[in-house]
Every structure is written in C-alpha cells, then in structure tokens.
Homo-oligomer: A and B are copies of this chain.
C-alpha cells in the first residue's frame, strides 16, 4: 500500500548499474548477490518494474557505474575500499562482457543515460541532478544494485538534493540478507519517502 503518487511527467525510474557483472550468471559479482537476488525475485521484479514504467510513460534514467579501465584510480590519493576492490577484480570492465548492460535491461530509445559514477552515488560527479531538472522530475524510484551501496548513497543524495525518494525493496539485492535488512529496515526509513515492493509500486502507478 502506498499513499504516494507518481505523476508521469514528474517521476523517473533510476536504474542503477544493470551490468552483466551484477545480474548475469557468469558475472563477476553474481555469486555474491545470487542468494539474495533469487530470494527476492530480483530479475523478475526488475523486468516487471521496467515494463510497468515504460507502459506508463515514466522516464527511465540509466545510472551506470564507471566501467573499469586500465589505470583507473591508480593516481588517486584516497581510494575507497570499494574502489580498491574494483582495481583488483576489474568490475564492469569497459569493452568486456561484464561491463555490458544485462540484455534484458539495455537502454531503449528515449531512455536517458547518465554519466558514469566513480563512487556509489549516481549524483556525485555526474549530470544526474541537472538531467532530472531538465526533464521536470521531482520523484525518483530507485532500482538496481547494490541496495546498501550505490542505491543507498544515490537515495541519500536524492533526499538531500530535494527529491522525493522511493526504494523498491525486492528490485535490488546485496551481498547478504543482513545488508538488505540494513538498507530497508534500518537506514532507508530515515531518508526515503517510500519503501515499496514491486507489486505495491505497480499498483500505485497511474493508468497509462
């Protein structure tokens, strides 16, 4: 149930990091998200959400992580633990299959592709905030990976920046159930305006 409304002209789906490395069976990070992903029905729900928002004419913004390239982060003074891990495993490597969009979630005509983020926030060091404004968006619905890192930091930023923030608890995943619990039961309720299931979101969308 939700009392939130998602006007077509003002709402956007932010789809965070839908790469093969996260979402496909042979992806580098799939083994780490697999258990949670299967339990929540991640792939089915991502399909249901994107299908529903497309049908309703809600704009999709792809919010992709930096695709790793040789040299990345090497000259930086302060690499984060996540960035150090990326330097080792070459997550989402540019030009490789792992850094390609999962085929079910590749952008389509009319989707807007935001600049790649170097850290965990889709807003930091990108054009996401400006692009949302240039399209009249006031409400953002966050799906994708990972619930406690890129999705959460993007959500925390969105709230600070003045947006209405909706998390979809079963259209995301994390490396453990405990991390999902932290994202949706502990931290989300401090900053997010709505935390819904896929079904609740779809039921709350306006008729196309």
Contact = CB atoms under 8 A, between A and B. Distances in A.
Contacts of A182: 182, 186-187
Nearest to A116: B115
Contacts of A131: 162
A125 B82 CA distance: 23
Given A75-B112, A78-B164, 6 more contacts: A80-B159, A80-B190, A81-B189, A119-B160, A131-B162, A152-B187
Q: How many copies does the complex hold?
A: 4
A56 to B, nearest CB: 17
Nearest to A82: B190
A208 to B, nearest CB: 19
7 contacts: A77-B135, A78-B165, A80-B159, A124-B160, A125-B129, A148-B190, A187-B187
Contacts of A115: 115, 125-126
Interface string A64-78: 000000000001111
A59 B54 CA distance: 35
B160 A120 contact: yes
Contacts of A190: 80-82, 120, 148-149
Interface bracket on A: 35 or more
B159 A156 contact: no
Contacts of A129: 125, 161-162
A130 B160 contact: yes
A185 B192 CA distance: 22
